[in-house]
Amino acid sequence: MMSEFEPQLTKMGNFRKDNEPGLSWMVIIILLALLATAIIIFANPQDMATSTSTPSFDESPTPSMAARVYTVSYDAGVFSPTNLRIHAGDTVRFKNESVFPIRVASDDIVGFDSVGDVPQGSYFAYTFAARGTFSYYNTHNKGQTGTIIVR
């Protein structure tokens, strides 16, 4: 029999379970602060300036525009990027990252041909002077194609 004066065990809350939501939020806030600090420290000011600028819709090249060099990689039977938009006067380097040699050619432009095989680790470069859409392919497998769009 239990008397009225016997001590009763009462269930007390578990400290860890009661404080887990606060601890989780504190960890999230610390991680966000660290991420913001890393962005501030490692951000390139030039990248930040160009990313916030208003895009220009003028498609004609201006004399102040410097010619750029783009790289199209070839690996495992695929050109990457498959479609590339550039401006007249820009150069595209076709880099072979595959084990097998490739030969890059186009039927759309006279002179657009790597002439010989491009071995692994090497590249073929071509400067696009005229505007238009030009397809290219690997002569060893004509199903491996890509497109250059020159504005």
CATH number for 101? 2.60.40.420
Domain count across the chain? 2
* 145 and 100 in a common domain: yes
Whether 120 shows a pLDDT value over 90: the answer reads yes
The answer to whether residue 137 sits within a structural domain is yes
* 74 and 42 in a common domain: no
Whether 92 shows a pLDDT value over 60: the answer reads yes
Q: Which pLDDT score is estimated for 63? A: 55
* 95 and 35 in a common domain: no
* 77 and 37 in a common domain: no
The answer to whether residue 7 sits within a structural domain is no
* 81 and 44 in a common domain: no
Q: What is the mean pLDDT of the chain?
A: 82
The answer to whether residue 1 sits within a structural domain is no
Res. 71 pLDDT band, cuts 50 70 90? very high
Q: Which pLDDT score is estimated for 40? A: 82
* 76 and 142 in a common domain: yes
Q: Which residues contact 35 (CB under 8 A, 6 or more apart)?
A: none
Sheet harboring 91-96: ordered strands across?
78-80, 69-75, 91-96, 123-127
Mean pLDDT of 135-145: 94
Inter-residue contact 122 to 96 (CB < 8 Å): yes
* 103 and 73 in a common domain: yes
The answer to whether residue 95 sits within a structural domain is yes
- Domain limits at 32? 17-49
The answer to whether residue 113 sits within a structural domain is yes
How far is it, in rounded angstroms, from Cα 149 to Cα 67?
15
Q: Which pLDDT score is estimated for 136? A: 96
The answer to whether residue 9 sits within a structural domain is no
* 104 and 33 in a common domain: no
* 95 and 138 in a common domain: yes
* 126 and 73 in a common domain: yes
Q: Which pLDDT score is estimated for 23? A: 78
* 77 and 140 in a common domain: yes
Res. 59 pLDDT band, cuts 50 70 90? low
